[in-house]
Amino acid sequence: MIYLTFAPYGAFALESNGNLENLTLNDLKYCKIFEEEDIPKIMYNLRNGNFEIVEELKKEWNLNKDEEKEEISIELSENEPNIAGELIRKNLYELGKKYNVFEDYNNFIEKMNLWGTEFTKLLMKKSSEERDKLIIQTVSALDDLDESLNLFSERFREWYSLYFPEMDKLIKKHELYVDVASTYTERENYTRTRLKKSLPSKLARTLSTVAKKSMGAELSDRDLSIIKTFAEEIKSMYKLRENLQNYLEELMEEIAPNLTKIAGSSLGARLISLTGGIDRLSKLPASTIQVMGAEKALFAHLREGALPPKHGVIFQHPLLQSSPWWIRGKVARALACKLSIAVRADVYGNYIADELLDDLNKKVESIKEKYPEPKKKKPVRRDDNRRGSNRGRSGKDKGRRDVKGRGDKDGSRTKGKPAGKGKKQTKFKAAKSEKTKQKSHKKDRPKTERKVIGKTSSKL
Statement: residue 262 has pLDDT above 50: yes
Residue 68: predicted pLDDT: 42
Statement: residue 323 has pLDDT above 80: yes
* Domains of the chain listed by start with CATH number: 2-129 (3.30.420.220), 134-244 (1.10.287.4070), 257-370 (1.10.246.90)
Region 69-81 average pLDDT: 51
Q: What is the DSSP string of 44-62?
A: HHHHTT--HHHHHHHHHHH
Cite the DSSP H helix spans in 323-455. 328-348, 353-370, 423-444
Residue 213: predicted pLDDT: 92
Instruction: Compute the C-alpha angle 365/371/376, nearest 5°.
Output: 165
Percent of the chain at pLDDT > 90 equals 48
Q: In this structure, how many other beta carbons lie within 10 angstroms of the beta carbon of residue 244? A: 15
Residue 284: predicted pLDDT: 95
pLDDT category at 210 given cuts 50, 70, 90 is very high
Residue 381: predicted pLDDT: 64
Region 419-440 average pLDDT: 57
Statement: residue 411 has pLDDT above 50: no
Statement: residue 460 has pLDDT above 50: no
Residue 37: predicted pLDDT: 83
Amino acid at 85: G
Contact between 29 and 14 (Cβ < 8 Å): yes
Q: What is the DSSP string of 207-219?
A: HHHHHHT------
